[in-house]
Amino acid sequence: MPRRPRPVTRRPQPTTGAQKASSTKPKPTTTRKLSDARSDSSADSESDVDDRGEGPSSLGHGSSDEEGEESDDAVDPDAPRIAQWQDEDELEEEEAEEAQEDNEDTLENDFRSLPFGTLRKAQRALAQATADSDDEGDSDADGDSGSDGDGPRALSSKGKEKEKDEPKHKKVAVKRSSKHAPQETTSKRPVSWHRQVVEAHKLEPRDPRFLSTAGSLDATKFRSQYDFLADLHKDELSTLRENLKRARKLLVSSPRDQRAKREAEVERLERAVKRAESAVNRDKRERVEQEAIAKATHEEREKRKQGKGAFYLKDADKKKLMLKARYEAMAAEGGKRAVKKAIEKKQKKISQKETKARPFARGSVVGGGAPTSNKRPGEPRERDSGWPKRRKVG
């Protein structure tokens, strides 16, 4: 029999701990549902019989009937049940997502600590890898479409069979008549449709040192502003010499496994010392030459004030004046012996150049060795007309 509707005035009974525990249990099986339905139908029939009966028995058991109805109403077999278990796959997915988020946060923090150049290189490598993968995917797709040869052939609008697109091969260059002949190219090139309607302003890199707005070079002003470089070169030279001295001491007592490394360090320091010495010597030479030119210019201005005409030094006269000033400064520092040593070194360098460019007679040997011809050893060698004249220095 159908169940009676619940009265409107009666409130639902509050759930107890036992009912909550029963609601947390998993869903019953089909047999459990059938047994519950049968028990509900029998309970309904008994309640109907009790309601129809008269007498003290029906009145005496009224409270028990109401309690049974309340329990039946509280536990509804057709109500939706909440599952208290969760699928393991969903749990694994949630854990994987949380781990991925943690990894992304850690990776982002690592990227922030990396320098910009390293990130730029990684970005280029990823872009290149993506382009390569795209090219491979396109080639695979083309191969799959080309391998499908059993399908029906496409028909054109006129009903004729349309041939399949054959793979395009590179055009073979026209064979030349000889390897020295020029390469032939076709003149049938389509005209480009690209037209530049509005000319865009092109940004050209400019160096502010060579702009017209910077003005011309003032040597005196330049020397006064960058005079501190000479002192820096001297300090660098002294530091390098100390480091070289220390490296040589370590090389003497170095173990076998570190000897090659320390030898390379000594060679590097020796080259650095030579460069620093060259920079210091160049600074000294330039200072001496500039002082000599400035002195000559000052004397010429004084002569103009006295009424003499304008006079300008030639390039050859300037070179002689600067050479004389260098030798005077050298004599002031190291004496006449230093000047003599410098002159001999210069003459030796010039003689070596002349020896390399000197034409010798046929059959003679460079360096004054025995001749290869049939002439006697005592006979003098012939001199060509191209023998250069020896120049005097100083």
Residues with Cβ within 8 Å of 248's Cβ and at least 6 positions away in sequence, in order, are: 266
| Other C-beta atoms lying within 10 Å of the C-beta of residue 339 | 19
- Tell me the pTM: 0.39
* Token pair of 26 as six digits: 């998993």
Average pLDDT, the chain: 73
Per residue in 162-181, pLDDT tens? 455 555 666 666 778 888 98
Per residue in 115-168, pLDDT tens? 888 888 888 898 888 877 766 665 555 555 544 444 444 444 444 444 555 556
Amino acid occupying residue 17: G
On whether the CB atoms of residues 244 and 270 are closer than 8 A, the answer is: yes
**pLDDT band at residue 201 under the 50/70/90 scheme:** confident
Residues with Cβ within 8 Å of 272's Cβ and at least 6 positions away in sequence, in order, are: 240
Residue whose tokens read 């058991």:
61
DSSP reduced 3-state for 161: strand
3-state secondary structure 304-318: HHCCCCCCCCCHHHH
Report the range of poorest mean pLDDT among 11-20, 93-102, 103-112.
Answer: 11-20
Residues with Cβ within 8 Å of 374's Cβ and at least 6 positions away in sequence, in order, are: none
